[in-house]
Structure 1
């Protein structure tokens, strides 16, 4: 047994506990409590397992589970940027890159390299797995907002065109899930919980 590797792995495990304290803007289903990053990642992992059959292309589900479980760990340092933020880009890659190197760098070198590569693949969004993982990441808050009578859309005065633009990423991973999501978006407009200009 390599004691140094084990101690580094334990240090990483302790560090990522901080993900539980990162509050997202989106609230839990039918609730007024904000979701945290750990809950979000756990939910995406189960969604990926359950919804994998709807992927546009053949996918490695275990790889997707890894992606969604680690994708927001960088927010320990970089913070969570609201997808509809008008002041700061949701793609704060420089800050996130520094965070990835520091946090994943706590692990033994080989593990760190593997996890950073998976994180980079998710961020690039080009492989079948990354496209499907990003579909999960966009679908979950849509489901939450529709369950909460508009949720963050109403709270932050987000318009239909912004929601449609951000959620259309879903179709890159799953046309089936995009049709479902598009229906929810249109229903939300009809119900008056999402404003259309």
Structure 2
């Protein structure tokens, strides 16, 4: 029934408002305020639209937009795992899958299945669409940290090699953006805001 679908969709929309309360470690550009997951997802969506031409392979921009907008919704239940966390691995976990099924399960069945499939595709990072979405996800915090004098790199004493290793996924989606990212990483070392 259409009314039933609408009620489920509105319930989902209300639930995902909680994303605005999930704080990330990275800070807004040139700021000392932490970014929340909703701001992060919005920024990735804008970056996708603006930077899509730099993808190494043809991508479905709408699908990538869906990926970057929903990829962190699982953090409503599972919380945000800092990419440089030394205790908890920043990979798809059983906890996140349970969260995905609960949160996306609020939607009508066909939408729930689509969202779970898109979320899983992003997590696996194998398709060209997922590679570009992950490139955006890794590029945004790099831009933030360089705008904030090292930001979380400095705050958590993250060394150059760890940053380089985590950020090289950018190159899987865009060689051009990765070349620019490497330049920013190396300039950060020269400026003393990232330790080699």
- State whether TM-score is above 0.5: yes
Distance 1:137 1:183 in 2: 18
Distance 1:161 1:89 in 2: 17
Instruction: Name 1:136's counterpart in structure 2.
Output: 136
Distance 1:119 1:66 in 2: 9
Q: Which runs of 5+ in 2 are unaligned?
A: none
State yes or no: 1:147 paired with 2:153.
no
State yes or no: 1:186 paired with 2:186.
yes
Aligned residues: 196
Distance 2:92 2:34 in 1: 22
After TM superposition, give the deviation of residue 92 of structure 1 in Å: 4.3
Distance 1:161 1:133 in 2: 23
Distance 1:77 1:159 in 2: 30
Contact 2:56 2:174 (8 Å CA) reproduced:
yes
Instruction: Name 2:11's counterpart in structure 1.
Output: 11
Could you list the runs of 4 or more consecutive aligned residues of structure 1 that deviate by over 3 angstroms after TM superposition?
none
Which deviations, in whole Å up to 9, do the C-alpha atoms of 1:144-190 show, x marking residues without a partner?
00000000000000000000000000000000000000000000000
SS at match of 2:182: helix
Instruction: Name 1:95's counterpart in structure 2.
Output: 95
Please report the TM-score for the alignment, with normalisation by the length of structure 1.
Answer: 0.98
SS at match of 2:120: helix
Correspondence list, 1:53-72, <5 A: 53-72=53-72
SS at match of 2:87: coil
Distance 1:87 1:77 in 2: 19
Q: Which runs of 5+ in 1 are unaligned?
A: none
